[in-house]
Amino acid sequence: MSSLVAIDTISNGSTSSAEVKLTGIDDSFERYLVIGTNIGSNYNTQLNIQVTKSGTAFSSAVYDSVGYNLRSDTTTKLNRSVLSSVFQIWNNMSGPNVYNQETCFFYLYLTNFADATKYDYMQLASGVAESNTQQGYYAPNSVCIVKDASASDGILLKENSGQLYTGEMTLYGIK
């Protein structure tokens, strides 16, 4: 049976920061879990994840991701497959608009981060976010391989423009 060991929590109350960084990954655990809650973003923006190396965002175009966004407003799945400098987890996020605020949450599993000989793996296993363009909800299921064999110590949640109004992320080691 697995258990979670809380390592660190970071909150963004109402600052003007466009990113939230969470570090603390080392070789103590083989896998980690990040739970993000109450993420409120700028209107009509996308949320992205980058890994950190020595506390600094890694922005090389080696984030190879694939997955689907299931949507509440249609039976069509939005296919995502891209090689980029970020792992995009949502696009057209809500914000301070008439529909909703602070609806985004996610579970993100991290594997191989402390191993300098392997690629980092991220699995967005569950989540939901309001989409202002469809006036519906996205439920993503995506994976990303960061094709750079070097140790990573955390993740950075960032918006492509504007600011993250609120949000909290907690990093857990999985025993």
- Residue entry with tokens 């980058």: 50
User: Residue 114 corresponds to which amino acid?
Assistant: A
For domain 4-174, which architecture applies? Sandwich (2.60)
The token duo for 87 is: 């792992």
Quick: pLDDT tens for 58-115: 999 999 999 887 777 777 777 778 899 999 887 766 555 545 444 678 899 999 999 9
Would you say residue 127 has pLDDT above 60?
Answer: yes
β-strand partners of 143: 66, 123
**Cα(157)–Cα(164) distance, integer angstroms:** 9
Would you say residue 128 has pLDDT above 80?
Answer: no
Provide the pLDDT for residue 75. Answer: 74
Provide the pLDDT for residue 11. Answer: 85
Q: How many residues does the chain have?
A: 175
145: nearest Cα among 32, 61, 62: 62
User: What is the dihedral sign for C-alpha 82, 170, 19, 111?
Assistant: negative
The domain limits of the chain are: 4-174
Provide the pLDDT for residue 166. Answer: 72
Helical (H) or strand (E) element with 88:
strand 87-90
Provide the pLDDT for residue 117. Answer: 97
**Cα(65)–Cα(73) distance, integer angstroms:** 24
Quick: pLDDT tens for 45-61: 778 899 999 999 999 99
Provide the pLDDT for residue 125. Answer: 79
User: What is the dihedral sign for C-alpha 11, 133, 128, 63?
Assistant: negative
